[in-house]
Homo-oligomer: A and B are copies of this chain.
Amino acid sequence: MTMTSAQHSCHRVTTGPIMASRKEHQHVEGPAGEDLRVPVRRIGLTDGTHLDVYDTSGPYTAYLEDGSDLHDLTVGTVRTRETWTHPEPVGGAATQLAWARAGTVTPEMVFVAAREGCDVELVRSEVAAGRAVIPANHRHPESEPMIIGRAFRTKVNANIGNSVVTSSVAEEVEKMVWATRWGADTVMDLSTGADIHETREAILRNSPVPIGTVPIYQALEKVKGDPEALTWEIYRDTVIEQCEQGVDYMTVHAGVLRAHVPLTSGRVTGIVSRGGAIMAAWCLAHRQESFLYTHFDELCEILRRYDVTFSLGDGLRPGSIADANDDAQLAELRTLGELTQVARRYGVQVMVEGPGHVPMHLVAENARLAHEWCDDAPFYTLGPLTTDIAPGYDHITSAIGAAMIAQAGTAMLCYVTPKEHLGLPDRDDVKVGVITYKIAAHAADLAKGHPGAQARDDALSKARFEFRWHDQFALALDPDTARAFHDETLPAEPAKTAQFCSMCGPKFCSMKISQDLKLSTLSTPSTLTVQ
């Protein structure tokens, strides 16, 4: 691992526990007797009970608030998976997919089963069927394994990364730590500016979650931003470089075929995927088929060596309501289905990416077609935004679509921040984006009847009804904001056990009246019945 001066100036990230919470580890025995320390966040409640919740935050929340002595970004975090014993390759593939198909259980499968609270056989069989993926590059031992598939908790990805206009390596590492603190299950480093390699190295060595990239961004930097100058060789070497570093999944826009490009000519917003636009420009300039498509087998061979997961990019996704579910988008999806089959033959894990901008009545159709045409590969969508008219609030326009598409079986949601379409998200935007998408994902898990999903809702609502304000904050997705909002009008500590808040005041609190009522109802059995 090489470190640059840029990273040496970046020793501080956000550390310390989340409000009222303590990091715990569940000790689970791996297939070779390993002690797999599965993380969990234990929220302590004032009534003496606690609630354990899924924890993506890595070691950072185990540190003291002032964590500068405990974590040095130039050293990297704990290499969790380095000591685990992995099975022999199967037919040349040392991938979770190949092992799962062979009926072999890996430490990663045991780990994610414990995290999800399910049987390991469900994990193995879903991975074997290609309905779930465990993105875990052999070279990213720092990651705590997680699973992406519709049978499991809906996951959230946070995009970070600098652009040439703004941001630094230090800021990007902090964004990764910050995003995972609030619940991001994976992080994509979409850097396009300076220091791409160094930024990614710093992120990977310190990341407890899988890291995704779009290799064509770095490849394009290598040819000084001229799409026509791209070659298969430059792209391939970039992919290998990133595989060696430990990237866990890669977006590859191999479904943008030369024949698809004219289908976008009547669109309101053309091609809005950067990778899609780059490949379309290349195809037109060279009057050739996409080198990502023609060299897809070689890509499979490379990714297989590291167990890097494909995230087949939707380079022709709609960028406006007008363009949703159009011929260009669906033609590409057909091609992604074909490529899914190819990758699977190599034993490479595959996800399929989806839109974008889609009106509500067309949302579920996207998940249905993706599952049908891509043989149930995990679907991974950006939003979708359900209207175009609210720049500045696209975390909300897209949370609506994200919740609906997750209910329809989408396995992972890529967040959208309030800055979408307007600028590079800062630290606050990253948090708002993550929390918003945790809401969408959780709402979908409730709707799908996912086992155990409702426990947190019930615990919070019970705390609310019993005026345990501290517990209501602690159980919230964002305890700090919940408390700050409450304290704006009633900052004094006695208000934390008061049977009202400033919304209705003491006399008009329905919950207070209702509580009194509950007591009186219990003491006065009613003989009344309902028709």
A positions within 8 Å CB-CB of B: 163-166, 192-193, 217, 220, 225, 227, 258-265, 268-274, 276-278, 280-281, 284, 319-322, 327, 331, 334, 357, 359-361, 386-393, 395-397, 399-400, 403-404, 407, 418-424, 426, 435-436, 438-440, 442-444, 446-449, 454, 456-458, 460-462, 464-465, 472-473, 475-478, 481-482, 484-486, 488-490, 501-511, 513-518, 520-522, 524, 526, 528-531
Contacts and interface: CB of A to CB of B under 8 A. Distances in A.
A93 to B, nearest CB: 30
B514 A465 contact: no
A484 B422 CA distance: 9
A157 B407 CA distance: 28
A483 to B, nearest CB: 9
Contact of A270 (B260, B284, B360, B517): B517
Nearest to A192: B508
Contact of A265 (B269, B510, B518): B518
A482 B530 CA distance: 52
B389 A475 contact: yes
B447 A361 contact: yes
Contact of A521 (B265, B509, B521): B265
Nearest to A360: B447
Contact of A456 (B217, B264, B274, B389): B389
Given A393-B435, A476-B391, A513 B281 contact: yes
Q: How many copies does the complex hold?
A: 2
A263 B422 contact: no
A387 B447 CA distance: 10
B505 A360 contact: no
Contacts of A270: 465, 511, 514-515, 517-518
15 contacts: A163-B503, A163-B504, A165-B489, A165-B505, A272-B511, A277-B517, A284-B524, A319-B461, A361-B407, A390-B476, A392-B476, A399-B400, A421-B464, A421-B472, A421-B501
A258 B528 contact: yes
A475 B391 CA distance: 9
Nearest to A266: B518
A510 B274 contact: yes
B265 A522 contact: yes
A510 B217 CA distance: 12
Contacts of A514: 264, 269-272, 277, 280
Nearest to A506: B164
Given A271-B513, A361-B446, 8 more contacts: A192-B505, A262-B528, A388-B458, A389-B477, A400-B440, A418-B485, A423-B488, A424-B503
A457 B360 contact: no
Contacts of A513: 227, 271, 274, 277-278, 280-281
A122 to B, nearest CB: 22
A278 to B, nearest CB: 7
A47 to B, nearest CB: 15
A359 to B, nearest CB: 4
Among A276, A278, A464, A490, chain B packs the most CB atoms within 10 A around the CB of: A464
